Amino acid sequence: MSKTRVLVADDSSLIRSAITDVLEESGDFEVVAEAASGIETLMLARRVDPDIISLDVEMPRIDGLGVLTRLMRSQPTKVVLVSSHTAIGADVTLEGLSLGAIDFVPKASVGEPFEHFAGRLLHVFRTVQAAQTPGLRTTEPGAGLPVSSISDELRTPAVVGVAASTGGPDALNRFFGAFTQRPPVPFLVVQHMPATFTNRLASRLDRVGPLAILEATDGVPLEAGVAFVAPGDHHIASRDGVVVFDDHPPIGGLKPRADITFESLAVDHGPGALGVVLTGMGDDGLKGASSIVEEGGQTVAQDETSATIDGMPRRIREAGLAIASGPPEQLAVAIENTWTNATTPLAGRAQ
């Protein structure tokens, strides 16, 4: 099997060398070029046509965001951002994800063993290997099935849980941005992302639509029209209509894990629970979606052509748990239609 060809772009020769060594020692990747500036990155991208670009967000002359903007306009390519752990780094990274980058790798923090960074790097690059190249997606925002065909069997929920991983920031932006009015139900959101980034993600999502979107805190009551995003180092659950932190260790390497959130919604709200599974690698959400359906609730999943990685949603569809599937914005419109067209909402077990 041929190796995945990578262009490594970073203004630090030390970082370029470290990334190159980690990728090539894995046996799965071949670094075909290295760039020290944004201009050089764009020139080499045209010349070597890599499968993936490892892109530093802070580079001279043209920064990572400038490179992304130009690249996605003329030569869409899978991009992994390499960013700092700082709040500023988180903002820039999230902006890069909205511009078309598929995933990101936080740089090693002070005192962190290099092996930890190397492990993160390989995990992300192996995930991105399976992702769709942005320019090759067959579904653009707003395209796909008619909303009526998605929403015909949906009931009015009392609470909505949303799960996302790789490609999730873009999918969540599309999902929450499609609502036209503040929903009369609460949302719990699990996005696989480090703790430094989830608060910034919530702040960005809060600006895209009518919902109030906040990073969750332990003990806050569920509130209609508010979406609570799980912090990057906590599982979250619904208990008696209150958001609580779950102290279980990472499950399958994930903390937060959507299965815990979905299972709690099934117990707390029964047939009033609705699970939404968006893009991502792996099977998080599958066990929780099964619990929701067993308790009389419903689940929907992103469709294959609109997902950056059709892992998590595919598991839901193949298990026969999805009452409907479609692009994120169409799922949102279909969900909104359940209460705009309904005379009375469906009551959950605990309010």
| Angle of helix 64-74 versus helix 38-48 axis, rounded to 10 | 30
The C-alpha atoms of residue 261 and residue 1 are separated, in whole angstroms, by: 39
Catalytic residue among 63, 170, 284, 303: 284
Measured between alpha carbons, how far is 263 from 258 in angstroms, rounded to an integer?
8
Catalytic-labelled residue, pool 192, 234, 235, 269: 192
Nearest to 251 by CA among 279, 286, 227: 286
Q: Is the dihedral of CA 188, 189, 195, 201 positive or negative?
A: negative
Whether 192 is a known active-site residue: answer yes
Active site includes 234?
no
Report how far apart, in Å, the C-alpha atoms of 329 and of each of 42, 212, 301 are. Answer: 32, 17, 12
**Cα angle, residue 159 at apex, residues 155 and 165 outer, rounded to 5°:** 105
Length in residues, the chain:
351
Which of 335, 344, 347 minimizes the C-alpha distance to 180? 335
Measured CA to CA, the distance from residue 243 to residue 220 in angstroms comes to: 5
- 165, 290, 291, 325: the active-site residue: 165
Q: Any idea which residues carry the catalytic annotation? A: 165, 192, 284
